[in-house]
Structure 1
């Protein structure tokens, strides 16, 4: 997508983003403790105020810059090895997987490594991909059929059981190593799992499910958002040029050199990039369809009664394209709609822009997600600046829908 030459580059449509049913069903399949992965109530779970919150500072740990550097190196390496065409979405998914594992439980699977990942890390990542694909396939299969296959241990359901065993074994090993570190006094790290364990005495089963939940929550979301972002920028090259210009201005104000790691202060000053990412997620939210199970009978603000056990669904994808909220140009990719006349980012109500939810269910990792995406996008665009165009399209039935990056 980004080029160091003057020749046009190209991009095909990114793969469809993750959806809530996909994530929730995979969570349910992998979890023995539903409350650890579905947000249900648990007597052992700490109050929300004490739940560790992934923060922007999590991105300043030593592992975070290494992950972003590895992402850029992977792009350059693949560009040389693949005749100057890079599947950018694959790189971003590998980055997101490595990054969430480091931030959540301080393990580096090494998916961005030129030699591939470590044996266990690669096995975990491959099993995650396979299990997710099988679970998504359930939505295309009559419930009675896949339930029968699961009962009899046939076909994909048999394979799913095998892949879940790999995931659970890996998660159990992570938990056991954390417990050992805490026992000998070397625990207390800044990763999320260590902070949860410091809150109280949780069962191994609960913590194992939490490890899987962190990966489910942090891997597909940011990689999907950035893939759609680069695809959208390919249709608006002036947006890309303005982002690069903003990056250069921020560098100049702080006296930092091109290619060095961005600081949190520098990233927070990138208002236009923040707006462009928000606009991309408005059009293509990482979770396009959300579902909620009603734990107790309730009444919605408009008077609609919702009984216990009723499933309520809403679509951030549809809300992001409503003229009543965004105006007649709601279908256009226009980051400027998020800025005031002085160029300052103006957030929208979470009830108009529910990408990160709202109220007590606001996404705990929102700030960290923005910082990570801004760091990766700014780093990639600073290093690979060129012409943009699109190749391919949304052919019906086509499975080749990933972002491609050419550099001549």
Structure 2
């Protein structure tokens, strides 16, 4: 267990294990029974109560939601996100969430989503997989999925296709900038505020990278916003046209009806928040899922059998892409995705701070100068939550005796958040995950390169530290 040093608290132990932060959280929380107080350096207000207790999660995320806002400390750490939906509280958050829900659930947007995902799979992802399979190349699936989700998210959010999914594998400054931002945000969780602010002032270390990456994000998003404003000022053809109902168009066109001031800063913050939600979480989920399936042949076989079962008899052994509607009711595929998200949640941890002092259901006292941190990565590995086989990849745990999807409460399965802040894009994410997973698993054999190391990175998004290097072979001629 971490040693509480005079003056330094448990900071030395934190940095000793920072390279394996997620695994360390799981170890400590398992040994401590689910809740552990990490003492920060004296006078630094860095005491963190780590917990995976579902009763605590439910209390904080739902029952006592008003007492646990994102708060000013969260906003300081994640200042790059501006006043976007992930950073805001109270009326500003409620208004943004209401409008985002209305746009994401709009029939035209859902049609646009299905059309965009299909075209990017058919004309982007498949040609790359065909190329690397034919040439016998090793490909980094994580990089490929990041490119895919960046393209699709960019189209859905801004209406513009950056064209990153290509056999040329072009350089993507925006994606690299997002990775560097996320690594810097992680380090802000590990350092006293005075230290990372000093790094920022001196322009050194991760803070220097963050500043440069921030400029890249602002420049790219600013270009998209100005292009869209110019486009819409010349023609109103996008009104009611499902081909152009991206979110940026909707925000600009419906500014007055929404009651929002859609100035350039609001649009910049909104776009960046949507880009992180769409690009990072989905590509992370796809990477871990394809790795788990490719290393568990029995699961791969069952998914293939289920996919074949919805096809006419003579089509089960042919090259084929699947429509979203065809995949919607597949129980085993959905269960396997849930199981992957349980073990490897794209957002592996999150933290809250109380406005008023309060005692949690576990009996632990927290005050406004402390943070409460949930480790979603550790939560999926706790035997007292998921049983003795909690560390195993076992899709069957999500299937009832009647053969239907087993419901698990969000305070136990936290991959899509819980309470009033439950993820708005859950259905969008599952639709995209299923269409990509089905296309790859049915048509290709994925083999991880022998000896390739697989471990989590050190970031606020759970990626693989060394990517996912694989060989791809075609199943059908």
User: Given the two structures, how large is their TM-score scaled by the length of structure 1?
Assistant: 0.81
Q: 1:194 aligns with which of 249, 252, 257?
A: 249
Which protein, 1 or 2, shows the higher relative CO under an 8 Å CA cutoff with sep ≥ 6?
1
Query: 1:26 & 1:129 partners in 2: Cα distance?
Result: 19
Give the aligned partner of residue 352 of structure 2.
Answer: 292
The answer to whether the 8 Å contact 2:154/2:160 transfers is yes
| Residues 321-400 of structure 1: pairs in structure 2 closer than 5 A | 321-385=381-445, 391-393=451-453
Give the Å deviation of 1:276: 0.3
Q: Computing the radius of gyration over CA atoms, which structure comes out larger, 1 or 2?
A: 2
Aligned residues: 385
Cα RMSD of the aligned pairs, angstroms, is 3.7
Give the Å deviation of 1:201: 3.2
The answer to whether the 8 Å contact 2:151/2:164 transfers is yes
The 10-residue stretch of structure 1 (292-301 or 87-96) with the greater mean CA deviation from structure 2? 292-301
Task: Give CA-to-partner distance per residue, 1:163-184, whole Å, 9 cap, x none.
Answer: 2112112112222233334433
Give the aligned partner of residue 236 of structure 2.
Answer: 185
Give the aligned partner of residue 471 of structure 2.
Answer: 406
Give the Å deviation of 1:85: 2.3
Task: Give CA-to-partner distance per residue, 1:46-73, whole Å, 9 cap, x none.
Answer: 2643433535935644322122221222
Query: 1:253 & 1:213 partners in 2: Cα distance?
Result: 44
Q: Which runs of 5+ in 2 are unaligned?
A: 1-19, 26-69, 459-463
The answer to whether the 8 Å contact 1:75/1:91 transfers is no
Task: Give CA-to-partner distance per residue, 1:108-156, whole Å, 9 cap, x none.
Answer: 1211122345x8xx33233333433444455566654442231133455
> Residues 253 and 322 from structure 1, CA distance in 2 versus in 1: closer, same or farther, beyond 3 angstroms?
farther
Query: 2:104 & 2:415 partners in 1: Cα distance?
Result: 17
Give the aligned partner of residue 127 of structure 2.
Answer: 73
The 10-residue stretch of structure 1 (147-156 or 331-340) with the greater mean CA deviation from structure 2? 147-156
Does residue 111 of structure 2 align to residue 46 of structure 1? no
Does residue 182 of structure 2 align to residue 128 of structure 1? no
The answer to whether the 8 Å contact 1:229/1:280 transfers is yes
Q: 2:163 aligns with which of 87, 110, 117?
A: 110
User: Given the two structures, how large is their TM-score scaled by the length of structure 2?
Assistant: 0.70
Give the aligned partner of residue 63 of structure 1.
Answer: 116
Q: 1:34 aligns with which of 83, 93, 115?
A: 83
Query: 2:339 & 2:320 partners in 1: Cα distance?
Result: 27
> Residues 407 and 208 from structure 1, CA distance in 2 versus in 1: closer, same or farther, beyond 3 angstroms?
closer
Q: What secondary structure sits across from 1:51 in the alignment?
A: helix
Does residue 138 of structure 2 align to residue 85 of structure 1? yes
Query: 2:277 & 2:269 partners in 1: Cα distance?
Result: 12
Q: 2:336 aligns with which of 260, 276, 283?
A: 276
The answer to whether the 8 Å contact 2:321/2:438 transfers is no
The answer to whether the 8 Å contact 1:280/1:333 transfers is yes
Give the aligned partner of residue 162 of structure 1.
Answer: 212
| Residues 219-258 of structure 1: pairs in structure 2 closer than 5 A | 219-252=279-312, 258=318
> Residues 44 and 368 from structure 1, CA distance in 2 versus in 1: closer, same or farther, beyond 3 angstroms?
closer
Q: What secondary structure sits across from 2:470 in the alignment?
A: strand
Q: What secondary structure sits across from 2:275 in the alignment?
A: helix
Give the aligned partner of residue 204 of structure 1.
Answer: 264
> Residues 192 and 298 from structure 1, CA distance in 2 versus in 1: closer, same or farther, beyond 3 angstroms?
farther
The 10-residue stretch of structure 1 (348-357 or 324-333) with the greater mean CA deviation from structure 2? 324-333
The answer to whether the 8 Å contact 1:237/1:387 transfers is no
Q: Which runs of 5+ in 1 are unaligned?
A: 1-14
Q: What secondary structure sits across from 1:355 in the alignment?
A: coil
Query: 2:339 & 2:453 partners in 1: Cα distance?
Result: 21
Query: 1:397 & 1:338 partners in 2: Cα distance?
Result: 27
The answer to whether the 8 Å contact 2:77/2:185 transfers is no
Query: 2:372 & 2:208 partners in 1: Cα distance?
Result: 31
Q: What secondary structure sits across from 1:405 in the alignment?
A: strand
Give the aligned partner of residue 4 of structure 1.
Answer: none
